[in-house]
Amino acid sequence: MKNLSLKKFIIKKNKKKIFTPSPSFPIENLYGLSSNFSRGDFDFELQYKRVINKIKKLSGSKNLISAQGPASLAIEIGLFNFVKGNVLVISTGFYSDRLYSILKMSKKRYSYVNKLEKLEYQDLNKVKKKYDWICACYTETSKGFKIDIKKLKKISKKTNSNLFIDATASIGIEDNHNLADVISFSSCKSLFGLTGACFVGYNLKPTNKIDSFMLDINSHINKKMTGPNSTIQSLDFVLKNYSKFRKGVEKNKKYFMEKYKDLTIYPKENQPNICTYINAKVKPEKNLILYKPRIKSEGSLIFHLGSGHLNKNITSINKSIKIK
């Protein structure tokens, strides 16, 4: 350890070839770390504002709160504090269906949701009647499927509905998040930070009164609890060079799509940058970490976030993937 530079040490420790939604461990995660405190620490307050402003820009949201926890927490905060009335969930897989389950809890616990419906994505053009909210998952990682958010926004406008988006696997590496009225996401996956922070971006005032200290968005707006300070710091230098990370993912996605074009099943407009579903099984290998979806799948989901994917040697990294 004494004779190794920090960068070489991290590279040596990270020999796994990661093809999962978990990001790599970019050395930039460490550059912003230091002792910190939420109140009275002037340096950290500046750093926090800098990071939050960059995330707001990526999200297209006028307002943004951070909290300690996974994206699931941000989703609950977003849904509980904003979504009410007649609600439609667009079903694309496991994670969009989880939005439906959380809204069922909200309906039972808080009674802000009056009527809750679910519609398959392929039936989107059948939406005619007015809803107060339409909720969807931008990139459904259980299936490697991306919705057409512009199309969804047109429908929300036509039906005079607000739009909630789960942006956990799309923030930063997909465009047009500004089309959503409320979005929720986390620090890891496509933001390339450490785990432990989640965010809710919103362009509307929260309307629902929530009888929970942790789930009430006002607790986070007013910073009534310790925030995800170290995780926020881990994002500082990542976001300074964020275009490099996005380009790395896009480059790897392009290479993978060209190589395995005969095995893909979704059209280009439904292909997310974060991953690719192929209609085949990948051979397991030592140090090759593949994604295990939360639902049964006949094929394989290959994610494009791993550290090896962000350097120039994309070809050699993808040679690790061998089809059965």
Each residue of 39-79: pLDDT tens digit? 888 999 999 999 999 999 999 999 999 999 999 999 999 99
Going by the DSSP 8-state scheme, the letter that residue 283 receives in this structure is P
Q: Report in angstroms the alpha-carbon separations of 293 from 162, 242, 300, 302.
A: 30, 27, 9, 11
Statement: the pTM of the whole predicted model exceeds 0.95: no
Domains of the chain by start residue, with CATH: 6-25+242-318 (3.90.1150), 28-240 (3.40.640.10)
If you average pLDDT over every residue of the chain, what do you get? 90
Q: Of 193, 163, 167, give the one whose Cα is nearest residue 180.
A: 163
Dihedral angle sign, alpha carbons of residues 277, 149, 172, 216: negative
Q: What percent of the chain has pLDDT over 90?
A: 70
Q: What is the pLDDT of residue 1?
A: 45
Cα separations (Å) of 200 from 65, 195, 279?
5, 16, 35
Token couple for 157 = 């406008």
Residue 271 CA neighbour count, 13 Å, CB half: 19
Largest distance between two CA atoms of the chain:
67
How far, in Å, CA of 209 to CA of 213, rounded? 11
> What pLDDT, in 10s, does the model give residues 263-303?
999 999 999 999 999 999 988 777 778 888 877 888 999 99
pLDDT band at 317 (very low <50, low <70, confident <90, very high): low
- Tell me: the pLDDT tens digits for 13-48? 666 777 888 766 788 888 998 998 888 889 999 999
